[in-house]
Amino acid sequence: MDTPATHFQQPAYSEAAQKALDRTPALFINNQWVVASGATIPVEDPSTGRIISQIADATDAEVDRAVEAARTAFDDGRWSDLPPMRRERILHRLADLLEAHADEFAELEAIDNGKPRDMAAKGDVPGSIATIRYAAGWASKLAGEMIEPAAMPRGAVHAYVRREPVGVAVLIVPWNFPLAMAVQKVAPALAAGCTIVLKPAEQTSLTALRLGDLIAEAGFPAGAVNIITGDGATAGARLVSHPGVDKVAFTGSTEVGKIINRAATDSMKRVTLELGGKSPVIVLPDVNLDEMARGAAAAIFRNSGQVCVAGSRLYAHRSVFDQLIEGLSEEASTQWRPRPSLEEGALMGPLVSREQMDRVMGYVEAGQKAGATVAVGGDTPTSNGGYYVNPTVLVDVNPEMSVVREEIFGPVVVAQRFDELDEVVKAANDTSFGLGASVWTKDLSLMHKLAGRIKSGTVWGNCHSMLDVALPFGGYKQSGIGREKGREGVEIFTELKTVYIKL
């Protein structure tokens, strides 16, 4: 038998990835790499727990420099006044460059975040390319409107509404989909004509930094894009309250989202927030249980459950509950066993950090203490120092438990039975979150009825976590403010201006 350490051996990094890891810690300001003047933050490979690189922890002065660069670039119009089709072309060039370096980005993402390389190669990176291309088209499609005044005599006033870029946008992104979350804000903000300061999460800044190289190469004017790495509570907080900033777009935990919302609204910055979730998966008795077990497993275990829309509350009809839990447990203990991120065929990697692993295990313990039973998982495999958690299914839970109420952000699902539709709708909506929900049934009429009754920004039928660049995405309740993706995702980076001209 393999020793545990060999069993969890992370394959060697490629030369391109190693080069990215060996770079001098620096910040991307005005299309230049500015070598960090302050402290650095170690970068870990969560598959091994080893420190593999260092990134800059931006100082106050460096944060201010980045905002000034974006401010100057916005105010002199070097980006926003370009013909929209020029902006569109430059964004497409960025997409071309990302396409050309797709393998390297997928590997870096896997090394940095712990997600399987295959998943990054099939999901995160092509998704990011699609996001840039989709947003690029909006640069030349965004438009205002001519509206006839309603309370004035016809022809007395010519009025119209312009749509203008909001200004300097600060984009703060989390560590679960580092590149995809960054690009989901970067591309529409630039398409709208904003200049930006991007701050990736301190745990996973590698792909954002590499993106800086491609931005410089793509032909963006200096200052249009600035990338600051650093601690959230210092560099992030300074960006959010900076007087030179007009808009903050944030994705992350509800807890930090509330702090950011308070700080940003103090100076009336425009704010959009994509926050946490506790998304229900509702299973009706007519489903194919084999497919359902696979679907429920993917809904929670993909990306080690570190997904804001993860299907973390499973509600199955009493008549199918036991069989479904059996199938789901089988999936958990075979397909979804955690593996090092670069290992061929891995479906699930480690969690992003020791802190996150401890947090998730803390929830599992708290659940058990409160009376929950572990159907499968609930432990960490013996590894080589990586942050692995076995996929976990908890049963015998009740709505008061923290594992049912709070976002765990790990590969842990809580499963409950229901008898009546009204009962499951009430249970599904009994949460402070409202990001996603899925309904699994062959009865389409029932599916549409339930879609209308569930309070969440997205409802899926017979699938979970499906997302498309053209369709708006965001949360009800404490899952967020505003929508990303689609037209709305570009319009959140604009202001409306109404012009009246007396004729």
Which residues are part of the catalytic machinery?
Answer: 274, 308
Distance, in Å, from the CA atom of 439 to the CA atom of 425, rounded to the nearest integer, reads 11
Q: Does 467 bind ligand ADP (CB under 6 A)?
A: no
At 373, list the tokens.
Answer: 């039973």
At 33, list the tokens.
Answer: 């790499």
Closest contact distance (angstroms) between CB of 58 and ligand ADP is 11
Which residues in the 154-183 window bind ligand ADP by CB under 6 A? 172-174
Distance, in Å, from the CA atom of 415 to the CA atom of 186, rounded to the nearest integer, reads 37
Q: Specify burial of residue 323 (Cβ count, 10 A radius: 0-12, 13-18, 19+).
A: middle
Closest contact distance (angstroms) between CB of 177 and ligand ADP is 12
Closest contact distance (angstroms) between CB of 434 and ligand ADP is 18
Q: Name the segment binding ligand ADP (CB under 6 A); options: 95-103, 235-243, 321-329, 330-338.
A: 235-243
| Nearest residue (CB) to ligand ADP, 263 versus 437 | 263
Closest contact distance (angstroms) between CB of 435 and ligand ADP is 14
Closest contact distance (angstroms) between CB of 455 and ligand ADP is 23
Q: Does 56 bind ligand ADP (CB under 6 A)?
A: no
Distance, in Å, from the CA atom of 154 to the CA atom of 503, rounded to the nearest integer, reads 10
Q: Does 201 bind ligand ADP (CB under 6 A)?
A: yes
| Residue 393: closest CA among 480, 330, 343, 461 | 330
Q: Does 481 bind ligand ADP (CB under 6 A)?
A: no
Q: Does 44 bind ligand ADP (CB under 6 A)?
A: no
Backbone angle region of 265, left / alpha / beta, with phi > 0 → left and psi within -120 to 50 → alpha? alpha
| Nearest residue (CB) to ligand ADP, 82 versus 240 | 240
Closest contact distance (angstroms) between CB of 477 and ligand ADP is 17
Distance, in Å, from the CA atom of 19 to the CA atom of 256, rounded to the nearest integer, reads 33
At 18, list the tokens.
Answer: 């190693």
Mark 237-256 with x for binding to ligand ADP (rule: CB under 6 A) and - for no binding. x--x-----------xx--x
Instruction: Centre a 10 Å sphere on the Cβ of residue 143 and count the other Cβ atoms it contains.
Output: 8
| Nearest residue (CB) to ligand ADP, 397 versus 412 | 412
Give the DSSP H or E segment for 288. none
Among 199, 247, 269, 483, binds ligand ADP (CB under 6 A): 199
Q: What CA–CA distances, in Å, run from 179 to 175, 414, 419, 424?
A: 9, 29, 42, 36
Distance, in Å, from the CA atom of 185 to the CA atom of 400, rounded to the nearest integer, reads 36
Q: Does 232 bind ligand ADP (CB under 6 A)?
A: yes
Q: For the packed helices 206-218 and 178-192, what is the interaxial angle rounded to 10 degrees? A: 30
Applying CB under 6 A, the site for ligand ADP has a residue count of 16
Closest contact distance (angstroms) between CB of 282 and ligand ADP is 27
| Nearest residue (CB) to ligand ADP, 98 versus 172 | 172
Q: Name the segment binding ligand ADP (CB under 6 A); options: 5-13, 145-153, 232-240, 481-489.
A: 232-240
Among 5, 51, 152, 233, binds ligand ADP (CB under 6 A): 233
**DSSP reduced 3-state for 437:** strand
- The sign of the torsion formed by the CA atoms of 115, 118, 124, 128 equals positive
Among 124, 202, 246, 274, binds ligand ADP (CB under 6 A): 202
Q: For the packed helices 125-139 and 102-113, what is the interaxial angle rounded to 10 degrees? A: 120
Which positions touch ligand ADP (CB under 6 A)?
172-174, 199, 201-202, 232-233, 236-237, 240, 252-253, 256, 259-260
